[in-house]
Chain A
């Protein structure tokens, strides 16, 4: 079991550019979560899916953020356009019994 796989590990982009973060959950896990972590705000839940269906996106900061889960083995989080305040570590986690987090994507928007 390779665990939850996120890509890229690091992303540096210029303000205004589109950013796409990718996640492959663990097979058989029916919940998928996207979190954002910063020193100031801690761990924030952005959105989560159950069986590929978005359940709660109330944590998505604004319309610039969108997430999709087209099938059970893939999810994306897109930011368009990106802003410096979006700089953070973004974690994907899948769950069946406790959460398994991916290694995260460290996003820097300059």
Chain B
């Protein structure tokens, strides 16, 4: 079945440093979604990318979908303490179901 791998598993940064998490699928995806889960909270939908090579920005967050639609990345510029949490990618396949990666947990040292 479809597998979505996410790296790194953990990332510790100093406040102000940049952060990137990568997502790779074993199969071509119809779309890729990104979620953020704060400690003790629930995953919250951030964005969905659909087109090959698509790039979208949300303030300091930049999301990319690979040309082959098998990989994606989330880049945060100048991290802040409010960026702390676990970032999940989810690859959209068939039948309305998305396959979640294991997440990247970001900690930010002030």
Contacts and interface: CB of A to CB of B under 8 A. Distances in A.
Interface of A: 30-31, 33, 42-43, 45, 48, 50, 55-56, 91, 93, 95, 97-104
A99 B96 contact: no
Nearest to B46: A98
Interface stretch (B21-29, B56-64, B77-85, B98-106): B98-106
A33, A43, A91, A103: residue with the most chain B Cβ atoms closer than 10 Å = A43
Contacts, number: 46
Interface residues of B, number: 18
Nearest to B92: A98
B48 A101 contact: no
A44 to B, nearest CB: 9
Considering the complex of A and B, which 4 residue pairs feature the smallest CB-CB distances, nearest first? A98-B45, A101-B42, A31-B96, A101-B43
